[in-house]
Amino acid sequence: MPDIPAKMRALVLKQDGYSGTATGPSIEHLSDWCALAEIPVPQPKASEVLVRIGLANVNPSDLHYIKGEYGQPRRKGVPAGFEGMGEVVAAGEDEAAQKLLGQRVAVSASRGGSGVWAEYALTDARAVVPLHPKLSDADAAALIVNPMTAWAMLDLVRQAGAKGFVMTAGASQLGKLMARLAKEMGLACVATVRREEHRSPLEGLGVGTVLNTERDDFDEMLVAAMRQVQPTILLDAVADRHSAEIFAAMPAGARWVIYGKLSPEAPALPNLGQMVFMRKKIEGFWLTEWMARASPESRRAAFEKVQERFVSGAWKTDVAATLSLDEALDGLAEALSGLNRGKVLIKPS
Amino acid sequence: MPDIPAKMRALVLKQDGYSGTATGPSIEHLSDWCALAEIPVPQPKASEVLVRIGLANVNPSDLHYIKGEYGQPRRKGVPAGFEGMGEVVAAGEDEAAQKLLGQRVAVSASRGGSGVWAEYALTDARAVVPLHPKLSDADAAALIVNPMTAWAMLDLVRQAGAKGFVMTAGASQLGKLMARLAKEMGLACVATVRREEHRSPLEGLGVGTVLNTERDDFDEMLVAAMRQVQPTILLDAVADRHSAEIFAAMPAGARWVIYGKLSPEAPALPNLGQMVFMRKKIEGFWLTEWMARASPESRRAAFEKVQERFVSGAWKTDVAATLSLDEALDGLAEALSGLNRGKVLIKPS
């Protein structure tokens, strides 16, 4: 076990609670929301573990959260960051926590714990995943939020008996993971993008139909694609008027599954006929909820299957930049501006 | 069997298809949408039956439909009217149709048939319900759309394991039926109304909380009621900003079940947190769909239970006016203006 210092450096939240705004996951300066501070290293109790963070990830949900626009209230002075990887260096007295001591793990933040944009993070034993020795640190730092969401959502598509699905924000890391998984599972996939240059990478991953929402012929292409593929699930990270248009063009019985809100736009509720006569439904998806409901066995199995794909090279995490805590404070916003080139990671020490 | 004439009088549609508008279920003059015409009496084939109409009902869905704002295209020259009662006077060759000959039945219109605002209506044998001899003609004419919807939707509430529900447009005939059924089933009910005078009739039917959406204190009353009753299903006939507000105030896991659109307003989709973190869902309910999915046995059982309640006097259909076809053409709009006083019925002959 390495020595654990009393103090650590961390990017901590500058505000408490919710902001009441809905401006979406983009920032101009990280320093508007977070400060680089030296704070006490937290101590794990009961089922908690302390993880020395090797690499932390930056997801859209982190940006929603630090801006006070996520489904959980901010806690001023507490480190931000929902996802990362590292080594368990201390553990509470519970057996589940003690068993993890010394292990290399993927970490997600838990309620009451502390965030991973810090040298150390406190979280619950249920929120860490022991790692395959051959999994790279970068893949490990981005293991939970995107890959598990991709896995869980395509499992939802499969369990719904759908032959095909639509995903918005297809060029995102999550979109690419879902594209690969769809091909493996034999599911027809229609993806939307906002730039023409995102088309061929997705087609290369086996996506049958890529629709550019910014093109003038989007409406016609959409109707043609819906008629041909007949997708009955919309996996939606955007929730704007294009999403509403896609949902309206989908066949009877379609489900609009919202898991993100990249756009600050609030589209109108679909018309009566869509919901009543065409039996369409609107719902949300949240990985935390999925993991809480899944049995320990199926959660473990899902993590194993996801890690196998990274180890075998079938999946990979594209990294656009890796920043120190200091570099992140000044440079995160700029590094994120090319989001679709790959993940931006934070290396706390 | 009575003699069947070659011609009949009927209120027939003046337009084809959809209008593309969304102005809601109100009309200024029925003559804008329907003409009183003499047309051939249709002849039943296969599983069809011909019903001599005793009384026809006027529901909001009829108004949506004649205006081209319902989920089915209009057919110019074909009689309007979705629901009524009468006697089966001719039948196609199928056994299911033949068995109904001479029976007094409740009628709903079927795809490919003709409407009930006419001396005779053609419909499918599956769309008629043989009547209890003690059921009044008025109760029979309004048996399917409202009572069966009330039954099916409270069955949905019960099956969802909810302890309580919210219903909008509580002062409607359907609202009153649901209030009575909720009391029988021991379900807590919160109802919304738009006028203060609708409060006490609902309270008299056992509705625990009646909220007036037009009062200045609606917001506070809503929050207090949601906290106290914790209703997890919203049965919604209106789908306006008040509905959206109610949904947002409901506890985690709530379902917004839309079955009507009394308001032409299109509220914005609820925010991300409502759908994702609070696991809320939006869906539709359509009786036709429910009846198509229900087994013949459970459909028959439901109709029996609903008829029993009318025969015993536990339920009753309030009738505000009964109009002939001629009177309806000129006076339906005015008769409907006091909708909450009771049903407006049409007596074709």
pLDDT digits (tens, 9 = 90+) for A212-221: 999 999 999 9
Where is average pLDDT lowest: A28-37, B75-84, B286-295?
Answer: B286-295
pLDDT at A341 over 80: no
CB contact under 8 A, B276 and A285: yes
For residue A289, the chain B residues in CB contact (below 8 A) are: 277, 279
* Nearest CB neighbour to A269, from listed B70, B72, B239: B239
CB contact under 8 A, B276 and A266: no
Q: Give the distance from residue A133's alpha carbon to the nearest chain B alpha carbon, in angstroms.
A: 33
Q: Provide the pLDDT for residue B314.
A: 85
User: Given pLDDT bands bounded at 50, 70 and 90, which one contains residue B86?
Assistant: very high
- Selected for mutation to probe chain B from A275, A288, A290 (highest B CB count within 10 Å) is A275
- Selected for mutation to probe chain B from A168, A262, A272 (highest B CB count within 10 Å) is A272
Q: Which of A101, A180, A173 is nearest to A142 (CA)?
A: A173
Where is average pLDDT lowest: B99-113, B197-211, B262-276, B303-317?
Answer: B262-276
For residue B70, the chain A residues in CB contact (below 8 A) are: 273
For residue A261, the chain B residues in CB contact (below 8 A) are: 271-272
What is the spatial distance between Cα A345 and Cα A140, in angstroms, rounded to a whole number?
Answer: 11
Q: Provide the pLDDT for residue A317.
A: 86
Q: Give the distance from residue A251's alpha carbon to the nearest chain B alpha carbon, in angstroms.
A: 14
* Nearest CB neighbour to A283, from listed B72, B268, B281: B281
CB contact under 8 A, A258 and B272: yes
pLDDT digit string (tens) for A229-270? 999 999 999 999 999 999 999 999 999 999 987 788 889 998
Mean pLDDT of chain A: 93
Q: Provide the pLDDT for residue B288.
A: 81
The answer for residues whose C-beta is within 8 angstroms of residue A297's C-beta and 6 or more apart is none
Q: Provide the pLDDT for residue B214.
A: 95
Phi, psi torsion values for A312, nearest 5 degrees:
-75, -10
- Specify the 3-state DSSP secondary structure of A319: strand
For residue B277, the chain A residues in CB contact (below 8 A) are: 71-72, 284, 286, 289
CB contact under 8 A, B269 and A22: no
For residue B328 the two structure tokens come to 């309806």
Collect all residues from A whose CB is shorter than 8 A from any CB in B.
Answer: 22, 70-72, 239, 244, 258-261, 266-269, 271-286, 289
For residue A281, the chain B residues in CB contact (below 8 A) are: 281-284
Q: Provide the pLDDT for residue A70.
A: 85
For residue B263 the two structure tokens come to 């308001």
- Specify the 3-state DSSP secondary structure of B42: coil
Mean pLDDT of chain B: 93
pLDDT digit string (tens) for B29-73? 999 999 999 999 999 999 999 999 999 999 988 999 999 988 789
CB contact under 8 A, A269 and B72: no
Bridge partners (DSSP) listed for residue B88: B51
Q: Which of B119, B101, B106, B117 is nearest to B49 (CA)?
A: B101
Q: Is the dihedral of CA A261, A267, A268, A270 positive or negative?
A: negative
Q: Which of A26, A115, A83, A82 is nearest to A317 (CA)?
A: A83
pLDDT at B291 over 70: yes
For residue B280, the chain A residues in CB contact (below 8 A) are: 283-284
Q: Residue A301: enclosing H or E segment and its boundaries?
A: helix A296-311
Phi, psi torsion values for A86, nearest 5 degrees:
170, -155
pLDDT digit string (tens) for B214-231? 999 999 999 999 999 999
Share of chain A above pLDDT 90, in %: 79
User: Given pLDDT bands bounded at 50, 70 and 90, which one contains residue A107?
Assistant: very high
Q: Is the dihedral of CA A82, A87, A92, A95 positive or negative?
A: positive
pLDDT digit string (tens) for A319-336? 999 999 999 999 999 999
Bridging pattern class, strands A128-130 and A120-124: unpaired
Higher pLDDT, A168 or A25: A168
* Nearest CB neighbour to B289, from listed A274, A279, A282: A279
pLDDT at B293 over 90: no
Q: Provide the pLDDT for residue B110.
A: 87
For residue B72, the chain A residues in CB contact (below 8 A) are: 277
According to CATH, the superfamily of the domain at B145-288 is: NAD(P)-binding Rossmann-like Domain (3.40.50.720)
The answer for residues whose C-beta is within 8 angstroms of residue A321's C-beta and 6 or more apart is A335, A342, A344, A345
User: Given pLDDT bands bounded at 50, 70 and 90, which one contains residue A340?
Assistant: low
What pTM, to 2 d.p., does this model score? 0.84
In a 10 Å sphere around its CB, with 0-12 CB exposed, 13-18 middle and 19+ buried, how is residue A40 labelled?
exposed
The answer for residues whose C-beta is within 8 angstroms of residue A149's C-beta and 6 or more apart is A174, A259, A285, A287
> B301: number of CA atoms within 13 Å, CB side?
7
According to CATH, the superfamily of the domain at B7-142+317-346 is: Medium-chain alcohol dehydrogenases, catalytic domain (3.90.180.10)
User: Given pLDDT bands bounded at 50, 70 and 90, which one contains residue A338?
Assistant: low
pLDDT at A1 over 70: no
CATH 3.40.50.720 placement within chain A:
145-288
What is the spatial distance between Cα A48 and Cα A54, in angstroms, rounded to a whole number?
Answer: 18
User: Given pLDDT bands bounded at 50, 70 and 90, which one contains residue A2?
Assistant: low
Q: Give the distance from residue B179's alpha carbon to the nearest chain A alpha carbon, in angstroms.
A: 22
- Selected for mutation to probe chain B from A269, A283, A293 (highest B CB count within 10 Å) is A269
pLDDT at A25 over 90: no
CB contact under 8 A, B261 and A268: no
CB contact under 8 A, B269 and A272: no
For residue A273, the chain B residues in CB contact (below 8 A) are: 70-71
Collect all residues from B whose CB is shorter than 8 A from any CB in A.
Answer: 22, 70-72, 239, 244, 258-261, 266-269, 271-286, 289
Angle A306-A109-A75 from CA coordinates, rounded to 5°: 155
Q: Give the distance from residue B19's alpha carbon to the nearest chain A alpha carbon, in angstroms.
A: 14
For residue B269, the chain A residues in CB contact (below 8 A) are: 239, 244, 266-269, 282
CATH 3.90.180.10 placement within chain A:
7-142+317-346
User: Given pLDDT bands bounded at 50, 70 and 90, which one contains residue A272?
Assistant: confident
Share of chain B above pLDDT 90, in %: 79
Residue range B225-251: mean pLDDT, rounded: 96
pLDDT at B1 over 80: no
Q: Provide the pLDDT for residue B23.
A: 85
Question: Looking at chain A, which residue has its C-alpha nearest residue B272?
Answer: A261
